[in-house]
Amino acid sequence: MFRTFRRMVPQLIQISNSTSHNLVRKCSTVTRNNTPRVQGLAPNFKGIAVINDAFKEISLDSFDKKYVVLVFYPLDFTFVCPTELIAFNEKYQKFQELNTEVIGISIDSHFTHLGWMNTKRSAGGLGKLKFPLLSDINKIIAKSYNVLLENEGIALRGLFIIDPKRIIRHMSINDLPIGRSVDESLRLIEAIQFFESHGEVCPANWKKGSKTIKPDPKGSKEYFQATNE
């Protein structure tokens, strides 16, 4: 089935872009750094997003002093993509409680984003979203974050967690057919913030409230002894 989707991609892009190219006056831009990496500085960007049924220019710097989760996805009006964005929307309040903003990004125009958000979920649409949906119609942002499939002209399912100092703390990329776990994104943010606040590191499968490890040979034995009795 997904092979069929891959063959459809160029046609979908052509349909989406044929009208939007004539309408779009502002495209996304990016301040280039080296290839994105964990512990490296996140590339800044600027583009037009849909927020509360309105068009607004945003940048990474628009969310000063916040954590940011960038959610790249292939295309509007497709299959896995709405399930992911709706899932992030349903947990949006939890992200807010963690001082975190979510930004969805695809190569579609902001006009297409708005149309998708005004489509009922029962028809494959998004309905109302609480977080920005950013247009990357010229593909500059996807390319700067190294998630662009050059031949297909769409982004892989890249997810980046960026801290308030604009440092990338987590990055992962799923292939096109595979959706992401919103709960795992929340868990990672909680782990990052716990370390920042307490200085202790989080072991495998850590969840908020679970035991952590003092990052030194002597202190770590407390954890290993407690969990391996």
Q: Is residue 112 packed enough to be buried (19+ CB in 10 Å), middle (13-18) or exposed (0-12)?
A: buried
Q: How many residues does the chain have?
A: 229
pLDDT digits (tens, 9 = 90+) for 82-98: 999 999 999 999 999 99
pLDDT digits (tens, 9 = 90+) for 19-60: 344 444 456 676 655 789 999 999 999 999 999 999 999 999
* Token pair of 140 as six digits: 């500059």
Of 9, 30, 70, 81, catalytic: 81
Rounded Cα distance between 193 and 213, Å, is 15
pLDDT at 199 over 70: yes
User: Whole-model pTM?
Assistant: 0.86
Return the beta strands (E) in 14-156 as ranges: 29-31, 44-51, 54-59, 67-72, 100-106, 133-135, 148-149, 154-155
Predicted local distance difference test score (pLDDT) of residue 33: 58
pLDDT at 81 over 70: yes
DSSP code at position 179:
P
2 residue type, one letter: F
Fold annotation for 2-179: Glutaredoxin (3.40.30)
27 is catalytic: no
Rounded Cα distance between 140 and 115, Å, is 22
DSSP code at position 170:
E
* Sign of the dihedral defined by the CA atoms of residues 104, 109, 114, 117, in that order: negative
Predicted local distance difference test score (pLDDT) of residue 32: 57
